[in-house]
Chains A and B, each alone.
Chain A
Amino acid sequence: MKDTAQYTKGKVNGIIANLVIVKVDGPVAQNEICFIRHAGTPLMAEVIKVIGDKAYVQVFESTRGLQPGMEVAFAGHMLEATLGPGILSKNYDGLMHDLDTMSGTFLQRGEYTPSFDMDKKWSFTPLAKAGDKVMAGSWLGEVKENNIPHKIMAPFKLEGQHTLKSVAEAGEYAVKDTIAVLTDSRGEDIPVTMAQKWPVKKAVKAYQNKPRPFKLLETGVRTIDTLNPIVEGGTGFIPGPFGSGKTVMQQAISKQAEADIVIVAACGERANEVVDLFTEFPELDDPWTGRKLMERTTIIANTSNMPVAAREASVYTAMAIAEYYRSMGLKVLLLADSTSRWAQALREMSNRMEELPGPDAFPMDLPAIISNFYSRAGIVYLNNGQTGSITFIGTVSPAGGNLKEPVTESTKKVARCFYALSQQRADSKRYPAIDPIESYSKYLEYPELQKALNEQIASDWIGQVERLKNILLRGKEAAEQINILGDDGVSIDTHLTFWRSEVVDEIILQQDAFDPVDARTPMQRQKYMAEKVLSVTDTNLSFSSYEEVNPYFKRVISTLKQMNYSEFESGQFKQYEEELAQILEERKTA
C-alpha cells in the first residue's frame, strides 16, 4: 500500500452544480477518486475529464458552500466496491455505503459508512489446500451467508497463476482475518482476507467463457414466462411511459424469480418505492426456498433526490456485486429501475462540461456505455467448470413515452428481451401492460432453449406458445376490422376471432400483481392454463347472431378468471373448471 501522501493533491478552481474543476499538482487518472475537503469533511468525487492541470470531477454530494481554493486529495484508485460476506440483506446508497448504519434522519454529506462489518466472525470451511494452483476468482473456502454458500475467492485483481501457500483450517474468522496466503511467481506472499476491493466500472473477467444462455429463468409472470421468456444470464428491458407498470413489474420479478441472489438497483426513482422493498422483503417468503426474501436480496438505493453523480455509480456498484456472487457459481438476478435516470445523469454532466451533445443532448458515447454495461451480464463457465449467471433486466423511461429516443434505441440494440409497456393497455387497466405483439424474447429463437423448454414443460410447448401469439395477432386484426366496419359489418367468425384473443389476453396476459394467488403463477400452472385456454379457443362454437358472442365470452372469461384467483387444483379451482366445461357445452358443435 502506498502512503496517501504520495498521491496528487489539488485545489478547487471552479464549481458548476456538482461539477467541480480542480487544479492539480501532479498526475491524475481518468475516473480516479478524490476527496474535496469542506469544513473538515472530505466529500467524494470522481474524475471525468482532464485538461492540462485541470481535473473535472463530479462530486457525489451536494456542492453547496464549496469555494475555490479548498483542498483536494486524490486517492490513487477508481471507484471501488468492497466485496465480502455480509453484503446480502443490506441497503446501500449508490456508492455502497450502508444506509442502516448512518446516524441521522437526513443524509449527511460525507458520512461514508462501511459496506459491511469487518469484525464480524463467519464460520469458514476451506475448499482448497496448500500447493493448489489458483488464479483470480478461485474458490479458497466457504462461509454460509444467510444459508447461501458464499465462496471466499482469490482476489479478482490477481494476474496470472499463483500458488496457495496456506489456507486457514475450518473455524470462526473475522472478515478482516487472513484466511489464506498466496505466493506469486516471484515468490512473494500475498495474504488474503474474506474481503476484497474491485473497481466497479471494470468487468470481472474471472471465468473461462460465456456460452449462449440456454435455461429458462422462471419469473411467475405469465406474459413473460409463457410468451416471451427470459433466461438465466439473459438480458431484457422494460420501456414504458410513467404509470404503465415498470416498477410493479420489476418488483414482481424481484420477489418471484428463480434466483439465488437478487440485486435491486433503485436508480434515480422514488424513495417510497424502495421503502416498499425495505418494508416488505423482510416479511415476504422466497417462493423457492421458503426463507425471507430479504435474505437473498441486496438493495442499492440512489433515489431521485440523492446526488446525481452517485446515480451513475449505483448501477455499476450493483453490477460489481452481481459479478462477485456470479463468481461463486450462483444465479444472480440484477434489476435496475430506471436506466434512463443513469443516462440522464450522464447527460447532466456532459452538459455542464459543455461537450458536443448527441441526440436529445445525451452524450455521444451513450450507446457504447449502455452496450458495455449490458455485456457484463451473462451465464459463465467459471474456471472450475461450474456455472454462474447474471440475468439483467433494466427499465427505461422514455421522454414523453416515445420509444424513438436514444436510451430506448441504444438499449434495444443490446438487450435480448423487449417488454414494451403500452400506455393504452395501462389506461384500460390491462395489467401487466406488456404489449404482446410488440414485445419479444430473442431467446425463444435459440434452438437450445426451445429444446430445453419442450423437455421441461411440455413436448410441444414452443408450438403452443406460437399458437397463443397467433391468436393474439389475429384478434388484433379482427378488432381493427370491427372498428372500421362495425359489429354488424363483419362475420360472426370475426367476432369469434376477436373474443378468442380476449380470452388469451384476459387469462394469460393479464395478471393482478396485488392478488395473493394471481400474482405468481408457477410454470406447471402456466402450462395448465395455457392448455386450458387453447382448449377453449379450439372449441367450435355456434352462434345465431353476433350479439350473443359478447355476453357468452364474458361468462367464459369470468369463469376462467375465477380459476386464476383460486388456489391451483383446489376444490374451488375445479368447481370453476367444471362450470367452464358446462358453459362450453352450451354452444359446442362437432
Chain B
Amino acid sequence: METRAFQRIYTKIGQITKATCTVQATGVGYEELAMVAGKAAQVVKIIEDQVTLQVFTGTEGIPTNAEVVFMGKPPTLKVGEGLAGRFFNAYGQPIDDGPEPEGDEQEIGGPSVNPVKREQPSELITTGIAGIDLNNTLVTGQKIPFFADPDQPFNQVMAMVAMRAKADKIILGGIGLTNDDYLYFKNVFENAGALHRIISFVNTTEDPPVERLLVPDMALTAAEYFAVEKNEKVLVLLTDMTLYADALSIVSNRMDQIPSKDSMPGSLYSDLAKLYEKAVQFEAGGSITIIAVTTLSGGDITHAIPDNTGYITEGQLFLRRDTEIGKVIVDPFRSLSRLKQLVIGKKTRADHPQVMNAAVRLYADAANARTKLENGFDLTDYDERALEFAKAYSERLLAIDVNIGPEKMLDVAWELFAKYFSQAEVGMKQELMDKYWPDKED
C-alpha cells in the first residue's frame, strides 16, 4: 500500500486511544482506508472534520503529528484465478513469497445477495462422520460453527471435514490462529495434495488482534468471486470467530460505545450476521458454505458470542469427550443442523429422518438411566439395554474417527435397534420397521 500523488495527507491528530486515533481531515469517506504513520487504519466515525480511525495494528508509538494518508477507498482484494493455492495476511498481502495477486479489485464486505436470487440449498455434503452425516447433515450453502472448548480438537475435525467435502475451493480464514495450528492446516492441505484449491487468509496469535476484523471479509470476498464468477462450490473455514468478536469489542470499547451483554457491542448480532449470511447457494450452481469455530468458555453457550452465533447460523456442532468410550463424539443432544430437513429422506434413504430421531431418543433414555445410576437407584431391564445401546451407538456412530457412507450409518443404526430393543420400544412408522428391521436369524 504505497502512497500516491493524489492521496490526501493530514497531520493533526487530536486524540489517540489503544485502537483508534482521531485526525482533522476533510473529503474523507466513511469506511475509507488510511495509513497512519505507516500503519493501516479504517474510518469508523466522522464528525465534521474530525475523523476517527481504527488502527489495525494498534496505536503504539503513533505521535500526534503522524502523517495520515487517506487511500480514497475501503479495503479491497484483487480477485482472480491466481488466488488459488496462495497464502495471505489479513490485508490480502502474500505471505508465501509469491507475487501480488492480479485481478479485479473488489471492495471487501460488499453488498448482500438479494434473497429472491438465492436458491434453496439442497446438495448434501458427506463427511463420513456419522455424528454429522446421520444426525446433523450438512448442505452446501449452509453456515454452521463448531461450538467447542479451547482444548478440543476442533481444528483437526474441521480440516478432516474440509478434506472430505467435495469442494472446488477451500478458503481458510485464520483468525488468531496459533502458529502450530496454522502449520497443521498447511500440512494437512499439502499432504492431501489439495494446495492448488486452497486459499488462506491468516492472522496468527502473533499478529495484532484488530487486524483480525479484516480476515473473514477477505476470505468471503474471495469466496464470492469463485462462487459467482466461476460457479464453484466454495467451502470457507473461519477459526476462531470468538477472537473476531473479541476484536470487535476492543474497537467499540475504545470508541466509548455502551456495551451490551458480556461487554460485547450492541451490534454484535448484525456484525456476525453480515459475515455468516454470505453463505449462499446460487442458481447457477456456485455456493458458499461456511464452517466456523466458536470457542466457548467452560462450555457456556449463553455467553453473548455463542448465543448470537447460534441465532444466526444454521445449527451448531458440539464436540464432547465421551468418557464411556474415551473418544471425542459429536454430541447428538446439543448439535443441530437446521438444513438437514432439506436433504434427509430426500437425497438420502427414506428411513433417515426417523432412524436419526429414534436413535437420539433412545440415547436420551440412556442418559436418564445414567442419572438414575448416579443417584443410586436400581435400573430396570430397559435402562440396562439403553445403556448398552448408548455405548455401542457412541462407539460405532458418534465417534469422530468413524468414516462410513450414509447408507452404512443407517444400517448400523437398525442393527443396534434390533440388538437392544423391541419394535414398540423403537416406535417408528410401522412401514419403515417392516422394511428395515433386521431379522434376528441373520
Contacts and interface: CB of A to CB of B under 8 A. Distances in A.
A296 B29 CA distance: 45
Interface string A285-327: 0000000000000000101111010000000000000000000
Contacts of B380: 487, 547, 550
B266 A105 contact: no
Contacts of A48: none
A165 to B, nearest CB: 42
A488 B49 contact: no
B111 A555 contact: no
A486 B372 contact: yes
B30 A65 contact: yes
B159 interface: no
A99 B266 contact: no
B378 A514 contact: no
21 contacts: A64-B74, A99-B115, A100-B116, A105-B117, A106-B113, A241-B310, A243-B316, A270-B277, A271-B113, A278-B115, A303-B115, A304-B269, A305-B278, A306-B112, A351-B258, A351-B265, A360-B261, A361-B260, A399-B261, A429-B360, A483-B371
B378 A487 contact: yes
A91 B120 contact: no
Task: In the A-B complex, list the 9 residue pairs whose CB atoms are closest, starting with the nearest.
Answer: A400-B302, A304-B273, A305-B277, A486-B377, A242-B310, A14-B47, A558-B427, A65-B29, A305-B112
Nearest to B29: A65
A156 interface: no
Contacts of A276: 120
Contacts of A347: 260, 266
Contacts of A241: 310
Contacts of A483: 371, 375
Interface in A540-590: 547, 550-551, 554-555, 557-558, 561-562, 565
A163 interface: no
B116 A14 contact: no
Interface in A198-239: none
A560 B277 CA distance: 42
Contacts of B422: 551
Nearest to B118: A275
B333 interface: yes
Contact of B282 (A105, A428, A547): A105
Contacts of A17: 267
A104 interface: yes
Contacts of B257: 351-352
Interface stretch (B188-196, B238-246, B335-343, B402-410): B335-343
Contacts of A489: 377
A63 B378 CA distance: 65
Given A243-B338, A279-B120, A305 B377 contact: no
Contact of A242 (B26, B311, B371): B311
A278 B315 CA distance: 21
Interface size class of B (residues with CB under 8 A): 35 or more
B323 interface: no
Nearest to B110: A106
A403 interface: no
A13 interface: yes
Nearest to B333: A427
Given A14-B46, A271-B115, A427-B333, A400 B307 contact: yes
Contacts of A357: 258
B231 to A, nearest CB: 12
A441 interface: no
A397 interface: yes
B424 A107 contact: no
Contacts of B351: none
A274 interface: yes
A272 interface: yes
Interface in B177-233: 228
Nearest to A16: B45
A66 interface: yes
Interface size class of A (residues with CB under 8 A): 35 or more
Contact of B49 (A62, A68, A428): A68
Interface string B133-152: 00000000110000000000
A351 B422 CA distance: 59
B31 A65 contact: yes
Nearest to B116: A99
Contacts of A370: none
A454 interface: no
A162 interface: no
B296 interface: no
A361 B46 contact: no
Most interface-central of A62, A65, A68, A486 (chain B CB within 10 A): A68
Nearest to B427: A558
Most interface-central of B32, B44, B280, B307 (chain A CB within 10 A): B307
A573 B427 CA distance: 16
A401 interface: yes
A400 B306 CA distance: 9
A63 B333 CA distance: 42
A306 B277 CA distance: 10
Given A348-B267, A555-B424, A303 B261 contact: no
A539 interface: no
B113 A105 contact: yes
A108 B111 CA distance: 7
Contacts of B118: 271-272, 275
A429 B282 contact: no
A21 B47 contact: yes
Contact of B141 (A62, A272, A304): A272
B113 A401 contact: no
B424 A551 contact: yes
A402 B302 contact: yes
Given A68-B46, A351-B266, A109 B31 contact: no
Interface in A464-523: 483, 486-489, 514
Contact of B258 (A271, A361, A514): A361
A80 B49 CA distance: 34
A107 B114 contact: yes
Contacts of B372: 486-487
A324 B157 CA distance: 53
A446 to B, nearest CB: 34
B425 interface: yes
A102 to B, nearest CB: 6
A527 to B, nearest CB: 24
Contacts of B266: 344, 347-348, 351, 361
Nearest to B32: A65
A64 B377 CA distance: 64
Contacts of A554: 424-425, 427
A105 B45 CA distance: 30
Nearest to A401: B302
B395 interface: no
Contacts of B74: 64-65
Nearest to A355: B258
B156 interface: no
Contact of A109 (B111, B121, B274, B307): B111
Interface in A232-291: 241-243, 268, 270-272, 274-276, 278-279
B111 A428 contact: no
Given A279-B120, A397-B311, A428-B361, A15 B115 contact: no
Contacts of A107: 111-114
